[in-house]
Amino acid sequence: MKITFSLFIALVCFLLISCNKPTAKYDPQGYDTSTVNSLIRYSTGLLRKNPDSAIYFLNNTLTQSIALNYEKGIGESYEFLGVANFYKFRYDTAKAYHHKAYTIFEKAGNKNLMALVLYSLSYDYSLTHELHKALGYAEKARVLYEETGNYISLYDCIEGLAYLHKQLHNSETVDSLMKEMVHVAEKTGNNKKIANSYYNLGSYYIDQAYLNLAIEAFYKALNIAEESGDSVEIANAMGSVGLANLYLQEYRKAIDYYLSQELILKRQNNLYELSITYTNLGEAFNSLKEFETGLAYHLKALNLRQNMNFKLAISNSLHNVAYTYYLMNDSTDLALSYVRRSLAIDHEIENYPGFSRNYMLMGNLEIQKKDYPAGINHLEESLKLAKKYGETNVMLETSGMLSTLYADRNEFEKAFRNLIINTTLSDSIVSGRNVKKITQLEMQHAFDKKQNVLELNHLQETMQFETTLRRNRIMIVFSLVVVTLIGITGIVIYKSYLKSRKADKEKEALLREIHHRVKNNLMVISSLLNLQSGTITDDHTKSAVKESQSRVKSMALIHQLLYQSDKFARIDFHKYLEQLMASLQSTYCSPDFEISYYVKADDLNIDIDTAIPLGLITNELATNAYKYAFADSRKGSIQIDFFRTPDHMCRLRIADNGKGLPEGFDPDSSSTLGLKLVRILTKQIKAKLNYTSGAGTEFNIIFPEHV
């Protein structure tokens, strides 16, 4: 080993002396193919750490190879000159060198070197956002690696293909490539590749919202990397575990992992991965509301990416800086300037998912500036693009914002439609407290290096189970949409006839028939939901269907009372409350529960526009009381009061003498569909919602008598 190193030093010194001769820059005398090969190997060790030195030496080896007519040396010099320029972010220069190298290797028929250059070209074109060209070169490289049985390089190629197909939103192909990647990594017998395959698999599961599977894959990667001592894979694993903690909202833990990763990446001079680490650190500090620190990390990431001239990454960093300024509240104009710069790059490279994120942010910023029409337009455009390109997080945030905005503007149909989108996505991403508990146990188990490795069939069973749950939830949401549309249709029809109504018996009969048919249609939906619940085995899904059925019945009851009444515009709300509570009692109170209810109400007739939201609110709060308030004692009472106050307001009180709300539970920030619906409907009727909890729970809804 010492002799080889001494030879390298002698060769480098000889080369430097030759370059300083006044008569000629290069002197091929004394060089042979062995010397050229040694210098090329030496130069490749400098590619990442010192690309300028690598370029200097490779230009020398190229000159010597040409003088010796040594085609392999010429081709490899071109290949590694391309790589060195790639690390200098000169992507067009890198392409030119790699095309020259491919021509030489193709002529020689060297498949392994042809594949190497094709894969390099794939990287070149991907970073200039010519993704289809990059994909073509990577596919050609894959075929050659398969022919030669070079599994190490084949693994790298499949990893690159997965990245490209992900950018092109070919989700089915990405899924197939991820499975193939793990299989090929195991064929290599190389721990570094096996660790990397689990790292990639975990990242894929994160994107698909399978957080528990992601955690498992990440810790497999970390354990293998620690055993092998490979710093690159340890850095990858540190970052991925940090990402998992970020998703679990364990921000301090995430920061610790990212700071450990930063130290490794700085030693490696891995600037792109370092920019990702800075981005994640920025997000973690923002989540802790330490915005100044978060902004500093996002600006660090932006600076690195601008030096690399990687436009897609620059756009993302500009968006992150803009979003941080948005969170700081007092920097709206500055945030808008960054988001416009990000959008300009998105237009240049046709980054459609970037449009959705930036339109969402621009909409939020315009809302912050009280420009509501412009803000809503940008949010609607963001939601449309997010649906098209599968940007789940954007859909979640945008639909939630639109739901609140439309509720404030009394556009109930639009508010409810966006609420359904938001609730569906919330349910499908990660299921809250239980998942967090499970994943934390998995983390501890992995750190102790005692976790059991799940077999492939178990993973498939888990994914199949989650798919079934998703399908059931979609059915529930579909039913809710149908119910809502029928209800809204009934209201619209009713209002249209109400405006033109005269004291005409024929039209009265028609209105009576409308309410009768709407009531019948709602009861048909209720029956369908009842039938559907009989086919569902999952308790959580079955409960959700049951709640949907209860909501339908509460609306049907209003139309039934209007049909039975001589007054088609208003209903006796005391009578409605009695019948609603009787229905809920029969639905939720089993024989082993001793729960009674009491209704006390003034003689008040409520118009339909107020009655439907108020009925749904009563249904939601009373249902919650039946389901949760008496779980421990199995007996108690529910009191419903409805009366006019001295200041011409109406007050609806729903109270129980149960165990009260759980410690730390805040109905105002609850993400459950029922309480979200209560908040939206309360805003619609311009009401105030108050609650108290101690020896029982009490909700008060206070609204003007003439809403």
Residue with tokens 């599961």: 205
pLDDT along the chain (707 residues), means of 10: 32 35 37 82 82 88 89 90 86 91 91 89 86 90 89 88 84 84 86 82 74 77 77 77 79 89 87 90 92 94 88 90 89 91 88 86 89 91 85 83 81 78 60 35 34 36 47 56 60 56 50 55 60 67 70 68 60 85 79 83 83 86 85 84 88 90 77 81 88 87 77
pLDDT for 167: 80
pLDDT for 414: 81
pLDDT, mean over the chain: 77
Residue 177 in tokens:
């490539």
Distance of alpha carbon 172 from alpha carbon 554, whole angstroms = 43
Class of domain 32-109: mainly alpha
Chain center to CA of 484? 28
With b for 16 or more beta-carbon neighbours within 10 A and e for fewer, the 201-213 pattern comes to: bbbbbbebbbbbb
Residue 300 identity: K
pLDDT for 574: 86
Strand order in the sheet with 594-601: 594-601, 635-644, 649-656, 696-704, 688-694
The Cβ-side half-sphere exposure at 187, using a 13 Å CA radius, reads 14
The Cβ-side half-sphere exposure at 288, using a 13 Å CA radius, reads 17
- Give kind and range of the element (H or E) at residue 402: helix 392-408
Residue 352 contacts residue 389 (beta carbons within 8 Å): yes
Sign of torsion, CA 379 384 388 392?
positive
Which residues, in sequence order, are CB contacts of 438 under 8 Å at separation 6+? 212
Quick count: other Cβ atoms within 10 Å of Cβ 404? 19
Sign of torsion, CA 267 272 277 278?
positive
Is 572-707 CATH 3.30.565.10? yes
Distance of alpha carbon 653 from alpha carbon 572, whole angstroms = 17
pLDDT for 435: 35
Residue 423 contacts residue 673 (beta carbons within 8 Å): yes
pLDDT for 219: 78
Quick count: other Cβ atoms within 10 Å of Cβ 464? 9
pLDDT for 39: 84
What does R_g of the chain's alpha carbons equal in angstroms?
33
pLDDT for 611: 84
Residue 219 contacts residue 402 (beta carbons within 8 Å): no
Distance of alpha carbon 620 from alpha carbon 588, whole angstroms = 13
CA distances to 89, 562, 563 from 118, in Å: 18, 74, 75
Residue 697 contacts residue 639 (beta carbons within 8 Å): no
Residue with tokens 């060790």: 45
Domain boundaries, the chain: 32-109, 455-568, 572-707
Chain center to CA of 135? 25
